[in-house]
Amino acid sequence: MKKIRIGQSGVSASQIALGVMRINRLDRKAAADLIAAAYQAGINFFDSADIYGAGRSSMIFGQALQDTGIDRDKIFLQSKGGIILKDGQIDGDGLKGQRYDFSKGHLISTVETELSRLQTDHLDFFLLHRPDTLMRPEEVAEAFSQLEASGKVLHFGVSNFSPYDVDLIQQAVSQKLEVNQLQFGLGHADLIAENIQLNISKSPSFDNHVTAFDVLAYSRLHHMTIQAWSPFQSGFFAGAIVDNPQLPELNAELDKLADKYQVGKNAVASAWIAYHPANIQVILGSMTASRIEDAANIDKVKLTNQEWYDLYLAAGYPLP
């Protein structure tokens, strides 16, 4: 599988990554089999978060890595932190009450807890999960510096951050923020749609009060890797786009291109994201091996510019 550089970290990783948010739904053997299948398909980058399954997802994933016998030095592990669950986590630092928390103590505790769950001594990447409006950048900086100095985190980034939020953190921390994880795909293409519809009054494709389009250009200018989460979801967890009867035009176009390139529709939908010159990394969320293996076939899909735009139009995004 094609590998891409992650930010300016020096890390070269598979363009398709696997997110393990839902792995807590699998038993031990099924989890190990899934991770083995993903690795065999060429995926060497895995994404988790401390809140997934209230902590169980990272635990099950960590055990699956041990069961598969995959060499830790041949994969990259990423996790995220900063969200407090209403009822807390199963083995976290005891904090409860729905909120965000970028305090030094919690960020360090998050990483240490995740390392234990994942059965490893370091994270390759640690991301701030969602922007905390009460964040104090100098406190984040202290946490990052301690985590880096201890060797517990090698690289840092953010998730769901606006350019100004990125700048707010970046001006305080000495580490380069390498990635921004954002929802993106044919079912949620606002990063592109808003840019295309810029300066058009009452655009049908987006809410004029929201301006996401500058995140894409900002990330390219600052050499941050965008990681596309929920790449096959329609809207915010509104259902999968593939084989969705409410999206007949899009699925007809996916079918046509899948036949042309002799792959499944997941590969085409992944290739549409990967085709963008921003060099986006696709974070799969599927827990079905066949879908993961299909999506990993993106190298077989050689889209043309016209095919890329045909998919964009079929997804319901207009061109002015």
Each residue of 126-174: pLDDT tens digit?
999 999 999 999 999 999 999 999 999 999 999 999 999 999 999 999 9
Three-class secondary structure assignment of the chain: CCEEECCCCCCEEECEEEECCCHHHCCHHHHHHHHHHHHHCCCCEEECCCCHHHHHHHHHHHHHHHHHCCCHHHCEEEEEECEECCCCCCCCCCCCCCEECCCHHHHHHHHHHHHHHHCCCCEEEEEECCCCCCCCHHHHHHHHHHHHHCCCEEEEEEECCCHHHHHHHHCCCCCCEEEEEEECECCECHHHHHHHCCCCCCCCCCCCCCCCHHHHHHHHHCCCEEEEECCCECCCCCCECCCCCCCHHHHHHHHHHHHHHCCCHHHHHHHHHHHCCCCCEEEECCCCHHHHHHHHHHHHCCCCHHHHHHHHHHCCCCCC
Residue whose entry in the numeric block shows the structure tokens 């390139």: 261
Check residue 208 and give its pLDDT: 43
Q: Cα–Cα distance between 5 and 31 in angstroms, integer? A: 28
| Residue 202 vs residue 97, higher pLDDT | 97
HSE of 188, CA atoms in CB hemisphere, 13 A: 17
Higher pLDDT, 288 or 194: 288
Quick check: 206 pLDDT over 60? no
Greatest alpha-carbon pair distance for the chain in Å reads 56
- Quote the pLDDT of residue 210: 42
Sequence ranges of the domains in the chain: 3-237
The predicted pLDDT at position 234 comes to 83
The answer to whether residues 134 and 165 touch, using CB atoms and an 8 Å cutoff, is no
Question: In angstroms, what CA-CA distances link 129 with 10, 125, 303?
Answer: 22, 12, 32
Q: How many angstroms separate the CA atoms of 184 and 269, rounded?
A: 11
How deeply is 320 buried, as exposed, middle or buried, from its count of CB atoms within 10 A (0-12, 13-18, 19+)?
Answer: exposed
Q: Which residues of 268-290 are buried (b: 16+ CB within 10 A; e: fewer)?
A: bbbbbbbbbebbbbbbbbbbebe
Model confidence over 43-100: pLDDT tens digits? 999 999 999 999 999 999 999 999 999 999 999 999 999 999 999 999 999 999 999 9
Q: Is the pLDDT of residue 225 over 80?
A: yes
**Region 106-121 average pLDDT:** 98
Confidence grade of residue 202 (pLDDT, cut at 50, 70, 90): low
**pTM (2 d.p.):** 0.94
Answer yes or no: is pLDDT of 205 > 60.
Answer: no
Question: Is the pLDDT score of 260 beyond 90?
Answer: yes
Distance (Å, whole) CA 129 – CA 135: 12
Q: What is the model's pLDDT at position 198? A: 76
Note the pLDDT of residue 237. Answer: 61
Residue 201 has pLDDT above 60, yes or no: no
Residue 311 has pLDDT above 90, yes or no: yes
Out of 72-81, 199-208, 255-264, 306-315, pick the least confident: 199-208
Say whether pLDDT at 273 is over 90.
yes
pLDDT at 118 over 80: yes
pLDDT tens-digit profile of 23-54?
999 999 999 999 999 999 999 999 999 999 99
Superfamily of domain 3-237: NADP-dependent oxidoreductase domain (3.20.20.100)
Neighbours of 140 (CB within 10 A): 22
Q: Is the pLDDT of residue 214 over 80?
A: yes
